Amino acid sequence: MALSWLFYDVESSDLNKVFGQILQFAAIRTDEDFNEIECHEFFVRLNRDTLPSPDAVLVHRLLPENLVKGKTEYEALKTIHELVNQSGTMNGGYNTLGYDDDVLRFGFYRNFLTPYTHGFANGCKRFDLFPMLLYYYYDGFRDIVWPEKEGKVSLKLENLNEANGWVDGMAHDALVDVRVCVSLAKAMAKDQDRWAEVFKYLYDRNFKQGACAMYLSALMGSKSNFAAPVMCVGQNTAIKNTTYWLRLNQFDFSEAGLTEKAVLRKKVPDTALIVSKNESYFEDVLVQANLAWIDQHKDQWQAFVEQTVGQKLEPIDDIDIDAALYQSSFFSDDEIHYMSQLHEASPDQWLEMPGCSSRLYPMVVKWLWRHNWACLSPETISLAIDLAIKPGLDFQGRPKTTYDERLQRINELINIYENNEENLEMLKKLKHYYVNCLNIY
């Protein structure tokens, strides 16, 4: 099986991973040496219930008028699904495990495409250059110019690109960002030993309770090289790819005890890395005192371990059907068979096809409301309106931004940018689009 790298980037209508919609997708497939094999770029038309965030529009500069000739979301997600599921594909980019990959998963889910296979099936895997780059910085790699902003190192992709002079073009254009990712990967892979080592860390699951290590995350800050000394609390008893780590240099356990505020979560893979213990961090006075306290209070430590690893994700009662991916089980074989039939049939046949499960039925109804209103039967119109106009919560318990909230925010930004002619013009055009969508809301 030939290995290929698919570097991709999305620009979305919203920071919310569930309710945001992909507006632009770009990807470059390379061989193992990062030589370009193929390039893809396309724009996506807005769904009828998508109100782009004005803050997002000011970043990526994509107005609704720029998207009228794009693919439908359904067409776009089918194309993307085929690209990322090609055998032997390494799928990723920059902060893709922090944002883009979830956007793809929820997009696949609501368009009846398998949401996980691009991470494990047919030799496919996911990666993310962002946590890998944290390791390079922490480990003292100096063949990359590390940009500074306001006296601190900045790992924003546009700043890295500017400092290293890799690619010309506007930041937050998806294809430009993808080309930067390819250049970054080439620069990192020049050190083959470090490149292989960081991939080991990205997928490592061999963690033992009580083991000491280093936790790398942007949350740790550049002053500490994005690293913190930690001790393994253990693996979640229900979620096998999740472990918990106790930060040792933040709280004094002799005063605060073992506090949940010191616990860091790690999934495999994600935007944090667990790497080998660095003795210099463990020589810190507070770290040494905390390790001694744990050793002297083993009963409290064991109770803390049991409480932490036994955490359960409580189901969200009012979750939106578009957001139920992580709360639901994997699609069954029967559901996958039914979904494959959907893609072969005309949407006006979808509600008449046998084999639709109780989970898929409202998803089909909402999909038809969003994309093919005329295909709804009189019996399903009221359900469709209820599902679409009264959305539930996302998988983190957050509601969808309302029409009034969008309008309020755009008016705030119009006042903020009253002296910026270019931004003001964009915001006024977006507000005009909002007004034309009022009949839906």
pLDDT tens digits for the chain (441 residues)?
689 999 999 999 999 999 999 999 999 999 999 999 999 999 999 998 899 999 999 999 999 988 888 899 999 999 999 999 999 999 999 999 999 999 999 999 999 999 999 999 999 999 999 999 999 999 999 999 999 998 899 999 999 999 999 999 988 899 999 999 999 999 999 999 999 999 999 999 889 999 999 999 999 999 999 999 999 999 999 888 999 999 999 999 999 899 999 999 999 999 999 999 999 999 999 999 999 999 999 999 999 999 999 998 889 999 999 999 999 889 999 999 999 999 999 999 999 999 999 999 999 999 999 999 888 988 888 888 888 878 899 999 999 999 999 999 999 999 999 999 999 999 999 999 998 886 665
Strands 212-216 and 36-43: unpaired
Q: What is the pLDDT of residue 384?
A: 87
**DSSP letters along 270-319, please?**
SS-EEE---HHHHTSHHHHHHHHHHHH-HHHHHHHHHHHHT---PPPTTB
| Alpha-carbon span 306 to 325, nearest angstrom | 28
| Alpha-carbon span 96 to 164, nearest angstrom | 21
Residues 272 and 202: beta-carbon distance below 8 Å: no
In tens, the pLDDT along 309-336 reads 999 888 999 999 999 999 988 999 999 9
CATH class name, domain 202-309 = alpha beta
How far is residue 132 from each of residues 142, 270, 300, measured CA to CA in Å?
14, 10, 35
Reply yes or no: is the peptide bond before residue 347 cis, omega within 30 of 0. no
In the sheet where 212-216 sits, what is the strand order? 263-267, 242-247, 227-235, 212-216, 273-275
**DSSP letters along 382-437, please?**
HHHHHHHHS--B-TTSPBPPPHHHHHHHHHHHHHHTTT-HHHHHHHHHHHHHHHHT
Q: What is the pLDDT of residue 441?
A: 59
Q: What is the pLDDT of residue 176?
A: 96
The C-alpha angle 329, 354, 106, rounded to 5 degrees, equals 35
Mean confidence (pLDDT) of the chain: 94
Residues 309 and 302: beta-carbon distance below 8 Å: no
pTM value surpassing 0.75:
yes
How far is residue 356 from each of residues 369, 384, 391, measured CA to CA in Å?
17, 16, 22
Q: What is the pLDDT of residue 32?
A: 96
Residue 413 backbone phi and psi in degrees, to 5 = -70, -35
Q: What is the pLDDT of residue 439?
A: 65
| Alpha-carbon span 22 to 224, nearest angstrom | 35
| Alpha-carbon span 147 to 135, nearest angstrom | 16
| Alpha-carbon span 435 to 381, nearest angstrom | 24
Three-class secondary structure of residue 140 per DSSP: coil
In tens, the pLDDT along 38-56 reads 999 999 999 988 999 999 9
Quote the CATH superfamily of domain 4-194: Ribonuclease H-like superfamily/Ribonuclease H (3.30.420.10)
Q: Which amino acid is at 288?
A: Q
Spell out the domain ranges in the chain.
4-194, 202-309, 321-389, 403-440
| Alpha-carbon span 391 to 405, nearest angstrom | 15
Give the CATH number of domain 321-389; options: 3.40.50, 2.60.40, 1.10.3470, 1.20.1280. Answer: 1.20.1280
Q: What is the pLDDT of residue 1?
A: 67
